[in-house]
Chains A and B, each alone.
Chain A
Amino acid sequence: GQNIDQPTEMTATEGAIVQINCTYQTSGFNGLFWYQQHAGEAPTFLSYNVLDGLEEKGRFSSFLSRSKGYSYLLLKELQMKDSASYLCAVRVAGSARQLTFGSGTQLTVLP
């Protein structure tokens, strides 16, 4: 079976840095995605990792360790608009490219 774990909630202060962790146990692996979802809106793509290492994109970075089944999303210089749910999703090898999602981490950025 597939199992993806991430914290349910996190709180941070505007201007700070926050790291959202995701661990996964899947039968095969073909990439890990991070999505951001504001309440009532569509999940929007943030990052994709398929090889070990860090991918940086502006204020957001994502890290992957395939041997550890671990990823994190790093958000720097937090802004109020970053308050949202952050979804970790794994694409399992051999599947029809479908994504298996974690339950999401609700991030609240405080002033």
Chain B
Amino acid sequence: EAQVTQNPRYLITVTGKKLTVTCSQNMNHEYMSWYRQDPGLGLRQIYYSMNVEVTDKGDVPEGYKVSRKEKRNFPLILESPSPNQTSLYFCASSLFGSGSSYNEQFFGPGTRLTVL
């Protein structure tokens, strides 16, 4: 089954404790991205990757890191989480990068993160 998987689905942590949220897709997609979803603010892109070893900042990259060492994986790293990073996080992938007229993004199930 073609899908995007994220782990963990739920995470409660404390300020300053480094964490990683994993994301994997099995569709051989080139483009992957991370979003956060907050009430009243909608989906905002954190980072995106056009291909292996190519990453770039989205709209809200502060406090986050990513890496793309393999095509299928795109982990999101919070080196020193803070309470304002409490949010619902989605990983997404698509065949090509945004800018293609037929770019469908496939989203993972989400990771609900709470930073105390």
The answer to whether A and B interact is no
